[in-house]
Chains A and B, each alone.
Chain A
Amino acid sequence: MTTVEIFVGIFDGFRITATVTALGLLFAVPFALIFGVAQYLTKGAAHLAVTAVIEFWRSSAVIILLFVFYYVLPVIGIQLPAITVAAMVLGLNAGGYGSQAVRAGLQSLDRGQFEAAAALGLPRGHILALIELPQALTRMAPTFINQFIQLIKGTALVSLVTLTDMTFRAKEIAELEYNPVGVYTSLLLAYFVVCYPVTVFGRWVEQRSGGRKGLTNEF
């Protein structure tokens, strides 16, 4: 096999990589929005409960969560396809990080935004949906894009629970013929080809929002 054939062979797995990423987003986006807003609005015991759920998903090692759910769910009688378990674990882990960006975005808004809207008589729900969230989410856009890249890269884990993503394909090809340099360089390149456009897009978004400064100090 030439290096090009190896690369194409690895890219066969892109379908699974993309599917897990997309399914993961279905878990990550709602989780980040609901729990981020809930952590921002709640107080007392409810706040602690919301924080505990977020910290469980955010502070655990994602590879361990994947193994735990993959092996423990069947024991307690829940049979799910590997791809669902993987998408759920990767998605909720990413969602845990995302929720912190949502909360931080909401907290960073000027208090006057809320006060002005309340003075105009808008109900709390409308203030959140029409005034606070649009500004918070725009402000945190670069962070969300970084977390999206983390999610794509995280899908490499699904190769450990027998899904034939790009990493799994690389290991299959590595068993067929001895060419570690070709196989694993192609694997790194395959992820680079997928993630780099997102990185460039993220940088463009960041520049547009004026968050990036030039190099200043001489070091």
Chain B
Amino acid sequence: MVMREPWANNLHPDTVSPFTIPAAMPPGPLLAIQDLTVAFDGVSVLRGIDLSLDRGEALGIVGESGSGKSVTWLAALGLLPSFAAVSGRVTLEGKDLLNAPAADLDRVRGGRVAMIFQDPSSALNPVIRIGRQVGEVLARHQGVSGGDIRAEATRLFELVGLPDARRRFDAYPHELSGGQNQRVMIAMALAGKPDVLVADEPTTALDATIQAQILALLTTIRTETGMALVLISHDLGLVAESCERVVVMYAGRVVETAPAQEIFSNPRHPYTQGLLAALPPFEGPLRRLVPIDGQVPDPSRLPPGCPFAPRCTKREPLCETAVPPLVQAGFGRLSACVAQTPSYVRPEKDRVLA
């Protein structure tokens, strides 16, 4: 079979890139998540998430630990343990993923949607050579076999800037540094030529200097391949820098969605404002950082109203009793706060869709 040259749009302008969108592509977002809920042992940790991702978009997901940002994407790809109760709808180009047969899901995972994780050293199998781990994806999703695997894997290692790429095929993960292992993870994700790369805290476990390198690599790869990027992080600054649109999550809900610049210049939700106040400024005089008081509530003991209300400086009486829905708060913006919702009517049910 004829191997499609990866990243062909850069190398051969006359070949059809796997990443250019054919005319017959169905309308609507590439990936849509609707009313996604997840519960572990009856404790609900994700309480109705609505998200959409366009082709080639860079979407940032921000929130403190336990806000459900990783769980959202693990659930979407069916990667949660079997005791997790997942409901809702996740569609890739209109095709449902949550109830898809295992074989279909396996074609999507790694082939259409790839995922990389926080701690690259434990995310790679310690007893399998890294070249083989990348080769698995090539064989599974690209039909590469035999000696071509070595050549192709080496090329991917070069692409992600792994030093001494030629000799690394036979290396084991423990022989590489954390940053190098994350490059291997990225190479492995790219091997399937996915439409989406979900990066779950890809730099959290790495040194500060390496963090910047990995982020730069992700940005470069995204612009070169045209794939969509979902960057999950607790660091709003980092996400705003490399993404076009930012989703802020709190206690298993989306509390604000906005273009990246606007979330900085004009944050709507008090939680987002709090996150920004806790962030050191990029320019201008130094100022005292303001932490958000209190802690993320225990998912099994959420307050009856807005989950952020106990920590919110702009709390109103209504916040204590009703959960505000996610509503339009400007062009291309959504926010879930009573303060932004003058027309807000107390809902009959616990949760109201925007």
A and B bound? no
By a beta-carbon cutoff of 8 Å, the part of chain B in contact with chain A is: none
By a beta-carbon cutoff of 8 Å, the part of chain A in contact with chain B is: none
